[in-house]
Amino acid sequence: MEVVLDDRQIDLVQEGIDVGLRMGKMLDSALTVRRIGRCKRLVLGTPDYFERAGTPATPADLSKHQAVVYLQGEGSIWSFRRDSSEAAVKVQTRLKVTAAEGVRAAVLAHVGL
């Protein structure tokens, strides 16, 4: 068995991959897909970051903060839902990262949310 770990949306057929696991919205595809789970997304920061920049209390407060943006995700527009209400916030992008591990490392280095 060969395991390929890649955050890019690669062509599974062209790459000769038999089974793929993806997160996020499924793009139009001729592939057979099945949802196997859901996960919550959280806005996280370190105590040092919050001490320096303040703690946001609402989604709107996030526009005043620095963000680490995962390029395979939603980008600099972050959406929030609670019950039937939804809000979208444009965040200040301090750093754009192409791998989830990079997002984690940047947040833990106090770069942003």
* Chain segment 32-89, per-residue pLDDT in tens: 888 898 878 889 999 999 999 999 999 999 999 999 998 876 788 898 988 888 989 9
Domain count, the chain: 1
The residues near 15 (Cβ < 8 Å, ≥ 6 apart) are 4
**Which residue type occupies 12?**
L
Is 94 a domain residue?
yes
Is 37 a domain residue?
no
- Rounded mean pLDDT of the chain? 87
Instruction: Provide long-range contacts, Cβ within 8 A and 24+ apart, for 2-6.
Output: none
Is 16 a domain residue?
no
Is 113 a domain residue?
no
* Chain segment 7-34, per-residue pLDDT in tens: 777 888 888 888 888 777 777 677 888 8
Identify the domain containing residue 87 by its residue range: 47-108
Is 30 a domain residue?
no
- Supply φ then ψ for residue 68, to 5 degrees: -100, 115
- Judged on CB neighbours under 10 Å (0-12, 13-18, 19+), 21 is exposed
Is 52 a domain residue?
yes
- The pLDDT, as a whole number, for residue 38 is 83
Beta bridge partners of 87: 80
Is 78 a domain residue?
yes
